[in-house]
Amino acid sequence: MPDNKSQGVEELRARLLSIVDVIVKYAEQDSEFLTQLDEVLSLGDSGGFGKTSRRRKKIKFNAVDYLSSHSSEQLKNYLLEQDEADLVQIAKQEGLKNLSKKLSKEETVDKIVDYIQKTLYQGSSFLKENSVSVPGNDKEDQFELN
């Protein structure tokens, strides 16, 4: 017959395993939570748990590409879901280096969206030409760009 101490240890073990199961299930469903969990549980150079670096991971988000396949409203909604630090990182990544820290989150998002729209439209402005001449041809045939 097990004593009270070992029975208490077994109950504690069962509870802890239940907590771990819940965390694992949530991590399987939420990739951001999984990343945070990985950072917290990773062993650093010092060999200790929870030694996360102060530097944020770089965001791999191409706002121009996102806008080209989505609407500006969808881009705005996506950016509004990001936290302040991520917005600053996205803005710097896209070339907006001097955003005022006094701007509200909505104003910051509006500036980013406006800048991305200008960038996208500048990049596609060469497609607005209706035809291209082909040199070296007697008639210089015209080709339509679509």
pLDDT the model gives residue 4: 79
Cα distances from 75 to residues 12, 17, 39, 67, in angstroms, run 47, 41, 28, 6
Token pair 């991590």 is found at 27
Q: Does residue 49 contact residue 40 with C-beta atoms inside 8 Å? A: yes
Q: Where are the domains of the chain?
A: 1-55, 63-128
Q: Can you tell me the mean pLDDT for 92-107?
A: 82
Q: Does residue 124 contact residue 87 with C-beta atoms inside 8 Å? A: no
Please provide the average confidence, as pLDDT, over all residues in the chain.
Answer: 77
Burial zone of 69 (CB within 10 Å; 0-12 exposed, 13-18 middle, 19+ buried): exposed
Span 15-30, pLDDT tens digits:
999 999 999 898 888 8
The closest alpha carbon to 106, from 123, 122, 82, belongs to: 82
Q: Is the pTM of this model over 0.85?
A: no
Instruction: Give 67-110 as a DSSP string.
Output: HHHS-HHHHHHHHHHS-HHHHHHHHHHHT-----TTS-HHHHHH
58 or 23: which leads in pLDDT: 23
